[in-house]
Amino acid sequence: METVDPRTRKVTTEMVIAKLKEHGQTVTKAEAKIILDFMYKIAILSVNQYVKL
Protein backbone atom coordinates (compact mmCIF):
# COMPACT_ATOMS: atom_id res chain seq x y z
CA MET A 1 0.00 0.00 0.00
CA GLU A 2 1.21 3.48 -0.79
CA THR A 3 1.90 5.83 2.08
CA VAL A 4 2.35 9.56 2.41
CA ASP A 5 5.58 10.83 3.88
CA PRO A 6 4.65 12.48 7.21
CA ARG A 7 7.02 15.37 6.43
CA THR A 8 4.99 16.33 3.34
CA ARG A 9 1.54 16.16 4.92
CA LYS A 10 -0.42 19.40 5.04
CA VAL A 11 -2.61 18.42 8.00
CA THR A 12 -0.70 18.38 11.29
CA THR A 13 -1.41 16.66 14.58
CA GLU A 14 -1.97 20.10 16.09
CA MET A 15 -4.71 20.76 13.54
CA VAL A 16 -6.36 17.44 14.42
CA ILE A 17 -6.22 18.24 18.13
CA ALA A 18 -7.70 21.71 17.56
CA LYS A 19 -10.53 20.45 15.33
CA LEU A 20 -11.50 17.68 17.73
CA LYS A 21 -11.35 20.11 20.66
CA GLU A 22 -13.88 22.31 18.83
CA HIS A 23 -16.24 19.34 18.95
CA GLY A 24 -15.62 18.54 22.61
CA GLN A 25 -13.10 15.71 22.18
CA THR A 26 -9.75 15.70 23.93
CA VAL A 27 -6.91 13.71 22.38
CA THR A 28 -3.19 13.49 22.98
CA LYS A 29 -0.58 14.17 20.32
CA ALA A 30 0.06 10.40 20.02
CA GLU A 31 -3.67 9.74 19.52
CA ALA A 32 -3.87 12.54 16.96
CA LYS A 33 -1.00 10.95 15.03
CA ILE A 34 -2.83 7.60 14.96
CA ILE A 35 -6.02 9.32 13.74
CA LEU A 36 -4.10 11.22 11.08
CA ASP A 37 -2.30 8.09 9.85
CA PHE A 38 -5.64 6.29 9.59
CA MET A 39 -7.27 9.15 7.69
CA TYR A 40 -4.41 9.30 5.18
CA LYS A 41 -4.65 5.53 4.61
CA ILE A 42 -8.40 5.79 4.01
CA ALA A 43 -7.83 8.70 1.60
CA ILE A 44 -5.30 6.69 -0.41
CA LEU A 45 -7.66 3.70 -0.57
CA SER A 46 -10.54 5.93 -1.68
CA VAL A 47 -8.53 7.57 -4.45
CA ASN A 48 -7.20 4.23 -5.66
CA GLN A 49 -10.70 2.75 -5.72
CA TYR A 50 -12.07 5.75 -7.61
CA VAL A 51 -9.29 5.63 -10.19
CA LYS A 52 -9.92 1.92 -10.84
CA LEU A 53 -13.59 2.53 -11.72
Return the HEC string of the chain.
Answer: CCCCCHHHCCCCHHHHHHHHHHCCCCCCHHHHHHHHHHHHHHHHHHHHHHHHC
Domain span at 48: 9-52
For the full predicted model, state whether its pTM sits above 0.85: no
Q: Is the pLDDT of residue 1 over 70?
A: no
- Please tell me the distance from the alpha carbon of residue 9 to that of residue 40, in angstroms, as a whole number: 9
- Please tell me the distance from the alpha carbon of residue 21 to that of residue 15, in angstroms, as a whole number: 10
What's the pLDDT at 5? 72
Specify if 23 maps to a domain.
Answer: yes
The average pLDDT across 5-17 equals 88
Specify if 4 maps to a domain.
Answer: no
How many domains are there within the chain? 1
Q: Is the pLDDT of residue 8 over 90?
A: no
pLDDT tens, residue by residue, 14-48: 999 999 999 999 999 999 999 999 999 999 999 99
CB 40 within 8 A of CB 4: yes
